[in-house]
Amino acid sequence: MRLGFIVNPLAGAGGPLAMKGSDHITGVHHDTTTLDRPALDRALTFLRTLADGGDQIEFLTYGGEMGEASLAAAGVSISKIRVVGAPHTPSAAADTQDAVRAMMGVDCLAFVGGDGTARDICSAMGEAAAVWEIVPITGVPAGVKMHSAVFARTPADAGRLVMSLLSGAVEFRMGEVMDIDEAAFREGRVSARLYGYMRVPAAREMQRGKSASRGWSGIDGAARSVAREMKDGVLYVVGPGTSTQLVFEALGLGSAKTLLGVDVLLNGKVIAKDADYQTLKALTRDGCRVIITPIGGQGCLFGRGNQQIGPEVIRRMQELIVIASPEKLLSIPGMAFYNDTGDPELDAALRGYIRVRTGDSEETVFRCE
Amino acid sequence: MSAEFQEARWNEPIIMEIGRKGERGILMPLAEERVRNAVGDASELLPEDMRRAAPPALPEISQMRVLRHFLRLSQETIGTDLNIDIGLGTCTMKYSPKVHESFVRSPALSELHPYEDEGEVQGILEIIYRTQEYMKSISGMDAVSLQASGGSQAIYGNAAIMRRYHEQRGDKGRDEVITTILSHPANPGTAATLGFKVITLYPGPDGCPDIEALKAAVSERTAGLMITNPEDTGIYNGRIREFVDIVHEAGGLCCYDQANLNGVFGLTRAKECGFDMCHYNLHKSFSSPHGSQGPGAGAQCVKAFLAKYLPIPTVEFDGKRYFFNYDRPDSIGKLRKFYGSPAVIVRTYAYIRTLGAEGLKQASELSILNNNYMLQQLLKIDGLSMPMGQGKRRLEQARLSWEKLTNETGVTTDDICRRIVDYGFQDYFASHHPRVIPEPFTPEPVESYSKDDIDEYVEAFRKIAREARETPEVVKTAPHRAALASQIDEQGLTDIYRFAVTWRAYKRMKNGSEAREHGHA
């Protein structure tokens, strides 16, 4: 099987920095090699999951950090790798599109990136739609938010899905490629647009598109009860979303919440607004509590749009307070949450059953896998 | 086809808007002069502080107009005696034998007064007592109260017993009640009303509540489990005993919501499932017309160790006479004024006496058979499916989904629910809140219906599914041939600022909104 493999090395880099995306990261950080680049780790996790069946796969990839380097790091034999082109430094959207053009004719394609990467790939594929519309594509999740329905839930899931293509027993569906206006998103406005479709495995391990759930029965009551039970002296890390914003409203801090960012509360006061991972690491101690809401239609707790709450912060957490309406819970495929923190061990430690606040004095116990 | 049916449609005003001042149905003759002189003004006989300053605003209408009004309204209704009433799943709309009405309408019952001396009402007390005894053997429980006026009140009674039980033991930390999202909403509702925190479990892939989630949910804070089985899906939870054991081990009590017993009459009992309490809606499985939100009756059944908590009074028998026992200091108190809904209890008693143990069991078996035949036929309709618990048989009801039809045609379950009325059938029950299954439809054919009835019912849905593909606008704009020829704004049913249950409230609301419209608010 000939697998096209493209990495967007900058994907997701904006997440821990609270930038809500990475589209403009080169404008802010001129030397991107000094940044944490989660996409490279994720590419490696993906490739290691492939290792077992690796000898049946021939890789077509792009030069340097756009694929070649990850394959080398994963120990893939040089005889199995064909580098079809080289990117500019630093790589940009045009390189991703050139890579797609150079990979015409592969049996399947895996890319490591986020919504922006998916959008670039989709637009290049549009130039030869008849060729690409029959090629299975798997997105290895490495972006910040990922509204598109073309990504696996975790890099390891992506690896397993590509392996299942080898056996041939896979059904497909057309997954939406969505992207949002990051400038508007940074200002707290969500404006998502449909850019096209990709042929993706129809499997549980694929995340669905983010969906806004209908109705929010009881969710303000859930937020009220969380606010009521807050204790002095305890640090609360509050994740993004309209559900968590209601906690701020219940505390009389309504407008202080960064809708799409992470804020920190102590003794009823906001002590950090729109905090990035470094800030949160500096502020939090063991015993902090984290308040988040899952992504509707997907069920991701940590790893989508809230990478600022990174592994070290999660490890210090004494209690995880999850708020979600019954309607949102029911929109989650397989009725289970998942995590994609970038740290598979931590993801495993977060598995099990957790309590979810669904209303005032109303909870449920929901599975996390 | 729909053209065969046309419901009466009257442009009938509200009764308060009919008639004229002084118009009368009956003209009472004046009392004789001698009487008038002796008595004086009759209203003077009332103590002054009880007298109205102005007479009540009652309708003033002649007899014929009264008759016309109510007959017209009756032509605009639809009910179990008028249509094939399969659609109202979870409501168990079975035939209520008309012979029972002769007992209920007999002056021996209808003329009873709740303040009559016990010695004069031994007959109805005996019927209540014997009905309690039947409930004991049907449930396997040890003590019964028939005081509740409906299912939710009986559930409330059981939840109140749960609270009292823990209180009396000094077990103060037990403030959490566990239920499931497909149990009747009265379970979380009554628990919350009593101050419990509610933990709701969601179904696993087999359609039953996730037992692992239950294990994770129980703790020293668990007061108990309140659960329906089979749930609204009609799937019987075969592990129910394990659920009960897990909660018992954690120190909680278990309440079985058996409002709808129709799938398990004589097949399983609360006792064998390990429950401490259960309740039945006597106006469902035991027949009684569901008359416009009432009257209903609930049976609260409990194990011996909880008997002392049952509401006061209880109806008891000392070997010679039946009596109300008020001397029960541990009781949760009264659930309602007086005792139960005697008419519904009499119908229940007659129903049990008519069918006997074997007959009741057969009622369940037939309702399961009818449901499974109906499902076989319904699921042949392209666009209708039965999600959850793939391959699992349903008992007396099922929650189906029109999701595929909706995706393919844009026609929703709410559209179909309005359209079915054009075929001469009652609109159906979609789902309790929230809609766990998308575009839901919950039919329940009970034991009363014949194969022909079921075929006729299914055929109407087959036609509507075809309409959804060929002429979707017809379905989306339904109803066309019902008493209400147009769609009503359903917000008016749920928005407290837009509905009124009394004429006075209606006028106030109307005047208020007029005032607001004119900027006088």
3-state secondary structure of B293: coil
Distance from CA of B188 to the nearest CA of A (A): 9
pLDDT at B1: 43
Question: How many domains are there within chain A?
Answer: 2
- CA-closest candidate to residue A344, choices A113, A48, A53: A48
Mutation to test the A interface, candidates B200, B206, B491, most A Cβ within 10 Å: B200
Q: Note whether A225 and A126 are same-domain residues.
A: no
The answer to whether A331 faces chain B, any CB pair under 8 Å, is no
Tell me, which fold does domain B124-352 have in CATH? Answer: Aspartate Aminotransferase; domain 2 (3.40.640)
Q: Does B213 touch chain A (CB under 8 A)?
A: yes
For testing the chain B interface, which of A213, A331, A365 should be mutated: the one with the most B CBs within 10 Å? A365
Of B269, B319, B345, B323, nearest to B109 by C-alpha is B345
Q: What is the CA radius of gyration of chain A?
A: 20
Whether A40 and A184 map to the same domain: the answer is: yes
- CB distance A222 to A359 below 8 Å: yes
**pLDDT above 80 for A30:** no
Q: Which two tokens stand for residue B40?
A: 């004086």
Whether residue A102 is found in the same domain as residue A250: no
Q: Which residue of B has its CA nearest to A366?
A: B213
Residues A179 and A225 reside in one and the same domain? no
Q: Which chain B residues touch A362 with a CB distance below 8 Å?
A: 188, 192, 197-198, 200
Structure-token pair, residue A356: 């979810």
Same-domain status, A197 and A224: no
Mutate to test the interface with B, among A361, A367, A369 (most CBs of B within 10 A): A361
Contact B196 A365 (CB under 8 A): no
Task: Give ranges for CATH 3.40.640.10 in chain B.
Answer: 124-352
- Residue A359 distance to chain B (closest CA, Å): 9
Chain B: closest CA distance from residue A364 (Å): 5
B181 touching A (Cβ < 8 Å) = yes
Query: Which range is least confidently modeled, A185-194, A254-263, A278-287?
Result: A185-194
Reply yes or no on whether the pLDDT at B502 is more than 90.
Answer: no
The alpha carbon of residue A335 is apart from the nearest alpha carbon of chain B, in Å, by: 8
- Same-domain check for residues A192 and A277: no
Q: Are A193 and A318 members of one domain?
A: no
Chain-centroid distance, C-alpha A23: 15
pLDDT at position B521: 34
Say if the Cβ atoms of B213 and A358 lie within 8 Å. Answer: no
Across the interface, which of A359, A361, A367 has its CB nearest the CB of B210? A367
Name chain A contacts of B200, Cβ cutoff 8 Å: 326, 358, 362-364
- Contacts of B459 by beta carbon, 8 Å cutoff, 6+ apart: none
Contact B266, B360 (CB under 8 A): yes
Q: DSSP letters of A27-49?
A: HH-S-GGGS--HHHHHHHHHHHH
Q: Which of A201, A235, A257 is the last residue of a domain?
A: A201
B247 contact residues in A (CB cutoff 8 A): none
Query: What is the tens place of the pLDDT at every residue in B456-481?
Result: 999 999 999 999 999 999 999 999 99
Q: Do B204 and A353 touch (CB under 8 A)?
A: no
Q: Classify residue A321: in a domain, yes or no.
A: yes
- Would the CB atoms of A363 and B181 count as touching at under 8 Å? no
pLDDT tens per residue across span A47-82? 998 876 667 899 999 999 999 999 999 999 888 999
Note whether A326 contacts B: Cβ–Cβ < 8 A.
yes
**In a domain? residue A143:** yes
Indicate whether A209 belongs to any domain. no
Which site among A364, A367, A368 would you substitute to test the B interface, given the most B Cβ atoms closer than 10 Å to its Cβ? A364
Within a domain: residue A297?
yes
* Residue B494 at interface with chain A, using a CB cutoff of 8 Å: no
Looking at this predicted complex, what is its ipTM?
A: 0.84
Which residues, at least 6 apart from A196, have a Cβ–Cβ distance to it below 8 Å? A122, A123, A125, A126, A176, A177
Q: Within 13 A of B66's CA, how many CA atoms are on the CB side?
A: 10
Mutate to test the interface with A, among B198, B201, B432 (most CBs of A within 10 A): B198
> Do A254 and A348 fall within a single domain?
yes
Q: Which residues on neighbouring strands pair with residue A179, listed in sequence order?
A: A193
Alpha-carbon distance of A340 to A146, in angstroms, equals 12
Residue A27 domain flag: yes
Confirm whether A140 is domain-assigned: yes
How far apart, in whole angstroms, are the C-alpha atoms of residue B38 and residue B217?
A: 75
Report if residue A214 sits inside a domain: no
CB contact under 8 A, B216 and A352: yes
Q: Chain B partners of A352 at a C-beta cutoff of 8 Å? A: 216
The more confidently predicted of residues B424 and A17 is B424
**B201 → closest Cβ in A215, A362, A365:** A365
Q: What separation, in Å, do the N-terminal and C-terminal C-alpha atoms of chain A show?
A: 30
- Judge if A253 and A146 occupy the same domain: no
User: Letter for the amino acid at B336?
Assistant: R
C-alpha closest to that of A56 among A195, A194, A162 = A162
Predicted confidence (pLDDT) at residue B516 exceeds the cutoff of 60: no
Among the partner-chain residues B192, B213, B433, the one whose CB lies closest to the CB of A365 is B213
Q: Which CATH number fits the domain that encloses residue A7?
A: 3.40.50
Query: Is residue A18 helix, strand or coil?
Result: coil
Q: Residue B436: list chain A partners with CB under 8 A.
A: 330
For all residues of chain A together, what is the average pLDDT? 89
Q: What is the pLDDT of residues B283-306, one digit of tens each?
A: 989 988 876 556 889 999 999 999
Side-chain-side CA neighbours of A107 within 13 Å: the count stands at 12
Do the Cβ atoms of B198 and A362 come within 8 Å? yes
Among residues A166, A201, A236, the one where a domain terminates is A201
Q: Tell whether A211 is covered by a domain.
A: no
Interface contact B217-A365, CB threshold 8 A: yes
A235-249 residue pLDDT tens = 999 999 888 999 999
Is A215 in the B-facing interface, judged by CB distances under 8 Å? Answer: yes
- Residues B159-194 pLDDT 10s: 999 999 999 999 999 999 999 999 999 999 999 999
Q: Which residue of B has its CA nearest to A365?
A: B213
Taking the Cβ of residue A204 and every Cβ of chain B, the question of whether any pair is shorter than 8 Å is answered with: no
**A154 and A67 within one domain:** yes
* Closest Cβ–Cβ partner in A329, A355, A361 for B192: A361
Domain limit, last residue, from A201, A234, A262: A201
Task: Note whether A25 and A117 are same-domain residues.
Answer: yes
Asked whether residue B515 carries a pLDDT value surpassing 60, the answer given is: no
Give the pLDDT band of residue A105 (cuts 50, 70, 90). very high
Domain assignment of residue A170, given as a range: 2-201
Same domain, A36 and A166: yes
CA gap B272, B258 in Å, rounded: 14
Residue A364's Cβ-side half-sphere holds a number of Cα atoms within 13 Å equal to 28
Taking only the tens place, the pLDDT of each residue in B86-135 is: 999 999 999 999 999 999 999 999 999 999 999 999 999 999 999 999 99
Tokens of A10: 């900058």
